Structure 1
């Protein structure tokens, strides 16, 4: 029964990690997507993009669904075939606010060549909407991930984290980029 008393401590440590504003140090790796079988089952049958890789199937990393902060459905399968940036942010995070302008600039610069998606969490939808409006990051989709489903899929433990995927859905970078600096360079080599 010793394992039972260990589990609450591990969960508490995880919650404490998520409540910080990102240390800027820890990089994480994407998960296998097994955390939310309902999400994966719903998106597993999503149609594959014609250029989503040599096998014509949607890469595992892009098998997720969500809802934009405006309430519209979003299917990760639509990202297949192009490099993608998933930016995990929280509305109350000053580091995220500092990353907003550069992320919006990169989204505009690579429009049509790469996808940039914000994944908001750790707060409620109204706060997420205010953040998008005040930081002027409405030029690219921002998802409301209040339950943390997409955050769990990619094993994100702190906000202000970027996950950069190549056109085949393989992770090429996971980490914090202060002020978003360097994000453009990460995509440059992927769009050829």
Structure 2
């Protein structure tokens, strides 16, 4: 069964024109740990040696362009991604009605707890209302880490995510090192362990 597309048809069509690929990419390649070509050179994801956006994160780390954005959490609090700078970061893109996302929830929460202080885990919820997002977090017991309410799809577009249940993993410099599904969250802990030493 194909996952629902993340963005409205017109925005999705524009993204397809820009990236040359769509949601029909091979999950098998993504799940094997390959970095998809569209994210490796994404304008939102500058190469590791490119200059940061200026400014520093919470630990005094230079903020890479990939983390130079703000959002609002599902709880209505302001969120500044600059606070993630200097540590590996897992961005988990999910939708409240998605069974694959629900299956990833327990492992994602486990990884967030195991690597607290060493790596960041942030949920990026979309494709539904904020009320439905709150229900999902409550039902899946994933309230131990922040979740962004991305109803307009701004963060999804920034990372060129075109379908839910995807992970985007950044190293401590903000470079995308993985983008894919990871069914049930299997393999997420190993990927984060490889970045935290």
- Shared fold per TM-score greater than 0.5: yes
Corresponding position of 2:156: 151
The reply to whether residue 168 of structure 1 matches residue 173 of structure 2 is yes
**Partners in 2 of 1:153 and 1:173 — Cα distance?**
15
Corresponding position of 1:189: 194
In structure 2, relative to structure 1, the CA distance for the partners of 1:142 and 1:13 (3 Å cut) is: closer
Corresponding position of 1:33: 44
Within 5 Å, which residues of 2 pair with 1:64-83?
64-83=69-88
In structure 2, relative to structure 1, the CA distance for the partners of 1:89 and 1:26 (3 Å cut) is: farther
TM-aligned CA deviation for residue 108 of structure 1:
0.3
Q: Secondary structure at the match of 1:138?
A: coil
The reply to whether residue 178 of structure 1 matches residue 183 of structure 2 is yes
Q: TM-score, normalised by structure 2?
A: 0.77
Q: TM-score, normalised by structure 1?
A: 0.79
**Partners in 2 of 1:116 and 1:122 — Cα distance?**
20
Q: Secondary structure at the match of 1:85?
A: strand
| Larger-gyration structure (1/2) | 1
TM-aligned CA deviation for residue 24 of structure 1:
3.9
Within 5 Å, which residues of 2 pair with 1:84-163?
84-163=89-168
Tell me, which stretches of 5 or more residues in structure 2 are unaligned?
1-8, 17-21, 31-35, 46-52
TM-aligned CA deviation for residue 189 of structure 1:
1.1
TM-aligned CA deviation for residue 33 of structure 1:
3.3
Structure with higher helix content:
1
